[in-house]
Homo-oligomer: A and B are copies of this chain.
Amino acid sequence: MNFNIIRAARAVLNVTNLEESRRFYVHALGFIETESDDKHIYLRGLEEHTHHSLVLKKSDEPSVEAISYKVFAEEDLDTLSAFFTEKGYRIKWMGSGSQKAIGRTLRVQDVSGLPLEFFATMDPVDRLLQRYDLYKGAKVQRIDHFNCAVTDVEKAYNFYINELGFACSEYTTADDEKIWAAWLHRKPTVHDVAFMNGVGPRLHHVGFWLSDPMSVIHTCDVLASLGYGSSIERGPGRHGLSNAFFLYLRDPDGHRIELYNGDYLTSDPDFKPVKWDLDDPMRQTFWGHAAPDCWFNEASTVLDIHTGQAVETGDPKLEKKKPTIII
């Protein structure tokens, strides 16, 4: 591996009504709207120093165009391109300027069929970390991770660990010691991406980081005040796995957003991945609440990077136990 992926960096989500999305993300959750036109809204968190971490695109159907990683330098894009091409993947380049505020990007459907994107540069913007007068709603700080449902977690795990250079922080095994779910990272937090056994490939959620646990509570109150009570799908609660204090929301198009606080540092090479067993009493949510079925069954459709059509999904390899542990 001679490329350096830095971190999960942005998601490009198709939505059906920009005004409704704006009301949810900007007015209710407090994302910063960096820029917008009649087809896009570009959002970022208060801590972010580049143009956006979430793109909402006007579309007929909700779906996921890309989940995107930042790399260290432009050269890394070329190396990644060569790597994927050699492995037989059909890559796609999008030139600098073809997407707002971002340099050239490399796209590829990954080993599980997920629409990946890589880029090295994005326009800088004013960081609003200390503009506390602009803090509202969830006071979202920054994008943190993607969680994806895939049919073969072990295959995804091996590819990300062995080929892309991710490290594993926590994982769950089924009875046969097969990996049922895994949390992987490049930046030294619990994850940049997680994979779980399920109908896939689909995007389960995009995770955003909040500055403190009270912001999670306040988000619930603000959402309820604005009539978004039904958008609260799960939580607040504590994950055993990852120790995150979490809240799961469904946006107006059904895309799932996780807001959370409570990570830990995974910088050390000798940090031993935490293993959870499906029969472990701790596999449940740390406080013992069950996740609702919709949290388990529903996820966002992902698109083919070449055709723009929905990627066909398949059934998971492992038994589809209700994954109350998965985050």
Q: Are B131 and A262 in contact (CB under 8 A)?
A: no
A46 to chain B, nearest CB (A): 9
| Also in contact, A264 and B129, with CB within 8 A (given A135-B222, A187-B188, A221-B238) | yes
Question: In the complex, which residues of chain B have a beta carbon less than 8 angstroms from the beta carbon of A222?
Answer: 132-133, 135
Contact with A213, one of B217, B245, B267 (Cβ below 8 angstroms): B217
Contact with A272, one of B6, B124, B217, B229 (Cβ below 8 angstroms): B124
| A72: interface (CB < 8 Å) | yes
| Also in contact, A6 and B268, with CB within 8 A (given A287-B232, A288-B224, A288-B232) | yes
Of chain B, the residue at the smallest CB distance from A209 is B265
Bound Cα distance A314, B46 (Å):
42
Q: State the number of copies, please.
A: 4
Chain A residues with CB under 8 Å of chain B are 6-7, 28, 47, 49-50, 70, 72-73, 121, 124, 129-136, 141-142, 187-188, 211-214, 217-218, 220-226, 229-230, 232, 236-238, 240, 243, 245, 261-262, 264-265, 267-272, 284, 286-289
27 of the cross-chain contacts (CB-CB < 8 Å) are A28-B133, A49-B268, A50-B270, A130-B286, A131-B225, A132-B225, A133-B225, A136-B136, A188-B188, A212-B212, A212-B213, A212-B261, A213-B214, A213-B217, A214-B214, A217-B236, A217-B245, A220-B237, A220-B286, A221-B286, A221-B287, A223-B287, A224-B240, A224-B288, A229-B284, A229-B286, A230-B288
What are the nearest 8 A-B pairs in CB distance? A229-B288, A132-B221, A132-B225, A133-B225, A220-B287, A132-B222, A187-B267, A214-B214
